[in-house]
Amino acid sequence: MTSTSVKMIHSLYEAGGEGSPSNPVKFKGQDYKQLKETLLKEGRTFEDKTFPANLDSLGKLEDFSAEQLREVEWLSPHDLCSDPSFVVDGTSRFDFKQGDVGNCWFLSSIGALTLRKSLMVQVVPPDQSFKNDYAGIFHFKFWRFGKWVDVVIDDLLPTRNKVPVSVSSRSGKEFWAPLLEKAYAKVCGSYGDMIAGNPPEAFKDFSGGVHMSYTLSKSPPDLWDVMNRAIQCGTMMGCGTFGGDKGKGIFKKFGLVEGHAFAVTGAKQVKSRGEKVNLVRIWNPWGEKEWNGDWSDKSALWTTVSADNRDQCLKMRNDGDFWMKMKDFCVYYQEMDICCDSPNFVDGDAACQWKCSLKEGRWEAGKSAGGSASRADGFWTNPQYRLTVKAVEGDYQGDRNVLLSLLQKPDEEYRSKVKYHAMGFIIYKVPSGAPRGRLSSSLLQGEQPLKVSEFSESRELIEFHSLELGEYLIIPCTYDANKSASFIITIYSKAEAQME
């Protein structure tokens, strides 16, 4: 089972076209190759005027006083280390740790990304250096709303007393992670605009893949199998603890952090005292502060497993990495997110080659934003998509064979200012003999929708459905009418299907 089991049959870009992985869109029009060639020719180092080294790029940092903000100095890694490196001996989650900016959701996602080496080199181009052809310019690639973009930055990092205010190198001399964070801060608008979020957002921007979220208190009975399939597929996995007052005393007792994002980095079944025990490995982006309950680094339970398992799993160091029992994981963590190129990990259908169809659209107030009230005349002004399920593989017994994703594309440049509309989609079965093109309300008058999704004020809504052979009308809509926003609708299908 691999993460390549999804076939892109429609997309916003053709292979090699603008926005493809090999030909990303130049963010803010900056061409990395041309800029670097000019800098080397002129003997200059890069200073990014589109993301300058000032308080505007730092943004609103609530935990910093005005005096502390005034003390921030933007320094190059050459000012922080006598011999800085971009990467030393490969990339790993142990290369960095979180600083004073509350973006654990993003940094835990980087930790998960480091386990996907092929994707890592796509996001973090490895042919960058502080030694050969150094010009103070670096670049990183993100998937942003249907297209890959190449983001150029200079290497000036915000510091106080020569200590980075945000993510820092654990060794003090490896800087790929602080620079990656700066590139994403530029995309978000500022470092302050990165505060607060959920791992699926970063997972999406690292891959363009599909994600599934699980509420662990209501987890499916096969969650352990799902996690193992996900690991085999080469997915990115994250999790988060409860926020607010729930469990504060328990978290403190067991060394966890409330309202915090972590990476899920492994799963292993061991035999202890004659019984099989399912263990989950988790990483805290702080680079410290670990679980101290059963199966923690100092737990006596490790003496009950084989020497091989103990050598493979147990690392007695304060690096943020720890193991815990699956049952404890589902008690102390609120949710888990899994992101992959393909939904194969959900049901274990390794032979399935998912097809993916992706389209851009927009709701425009007064024109094409009719809201969700299907009985209202305005509802039929919403965008419409016809989906034809042409085949169903295998013995179809109502298995979920279609996954729908609706992703809002904000008009606002600064991430912290984005407000997502409550959105969802309504699905009708198209009557036989219906004309091509848009369908009118009169044609489906009296017909009950086949499916009505939940409506969510979120960046992306994902739902699985079971659809038999036939033709369907999918209407993405905002809950309230006259809400303007762009969106991307993506359909993954197990067998042949066509969207138009």
Q: Examine the pLDDT at 187 and tell me if it is beyond 90.
A: yes
- Alpha-carbon gap, residue 133 to 131, rounded angstroms: 6
Q: Give the residue-averaged pLDDT of 309-317.
A: 85
Extents of the domains making up the chain: 13-206, 210-340, 353-499
Residue 349 has pLDDT above 70, yes or no: no
> Smallest Cα–Cα separation from 186: which of 60, 299, 51, 296?
51
**469 band by pLDDT with thresholds 50, 70 and 90:** confident
Residue 466: the pLDDT is 85
pLDDT digits (tens, 9 = 90+) for 438-447: 887 777 777 7
Instruction: Report pLDDT digits (tens) over 189-210.
Output: 999 999 999 999 999 999 999 8
313 against 41, higher pLDDT: 41
Residue 495 has pLDDT above 80, yes or no: no
From 103, 284, 344, 401, the catalytic residue = 284
pLDDT in tens, 29-85: 999 999 999 999 999 999 999 999 999 999 999 888 888 888 999 999 999 999 999
Confidence of residue 396 (pLDDT cuts 50, 70, 90): very low
Q: Average pLDDT of the chain?
A: 89
pLDDT for residue 494 is more than 70: yes
Structure tokens at 93: 């989650």
User: Identical fold at 210-340 and 353-499?
Assistant: no
CA–CA gap between residue 261 and residue 264 (Å, rounded) = 10
**pLDDT higher than 80, residue 393:** no
What is the mean predicted confidence (pLDDT) over 281-302?
93
pTM over 0.95: no
Average pLDDT over residues 405-430: 93
pLDDT at 345: 79
Choice among 198, 260, 344, 401 that is catalytic: 260
Q: How confident is the model at residue 301 (pLDDT cuts 50, 70, 90)?
A: very high
DSSP assignment string, 333-348: EEEEEEEESSTHHHHT
> Does residue 287 carry a pLDDT above 60?
yes
Which residue bears the tokens 């990092």? Answer: 157
Question: Comparing 3-7, 155-159, 258-262, which segment has the lowest mean pLDDT?
Answer: 3-7
Average pLDDT over residues 333-358: 81
Residues 6+ apart with CB under 8 A from 295: 277, 279, 301, 302, 323, 324, 325, 328
In 3D space, the residue among 391, 477, 366, 365 whose CA is nearest the CA of residue 427 turns out to be 477
What is the fold of 353-499? Jelly Rolls (2.60.120)
Does the active-site annotation cover 465?
no
By mean pLDDT, which of 80-89, 144-153, 370-379, 419-428 is the weakest?
370-379
Count the alpha carbons within 13 Å of 61 in the hemisphere toward its beta carbon: 25
Mean pLDDT of 242-248: 70
pLDDT for res 353: 73
Q: Stretch 176-190: mean pLDDT, rounded?
A: 97
| CATH number listed for the domain at residues 210-340 | 3.90.70.10
When pLDDT is averaged across residues 418-446 and rounded to a whole number, the result is 85
Q: How would you list the strands of the sheet with 163-164, edge to edge?
A: 73-75, 157-160, 163-164
Active site residue 284: yes
pLDDT tens-digit profile of 217-236?
998 899 999 999 889 888 99
Gyration radius from the chain CA atoms = 24
Active-site position among 104, 188, 352, 356: 104
76 Rama sector, left if φ>0, alpha if ψ -120 to 50, beta otherwise: beta
pLDDT, mean of residues 435-461: 85
Residues 368-391: what's their mean pLDDT? Answer: 87
Q: Is the pLDDT of residue 248 over 80?
A: no
**351 pLDDT exceeds 70?**
no
What percent of the chain has pLDDT above 90? 65
Angle between helix axes 199-207 and 176-188 (nearest 10 degrees) is: 100
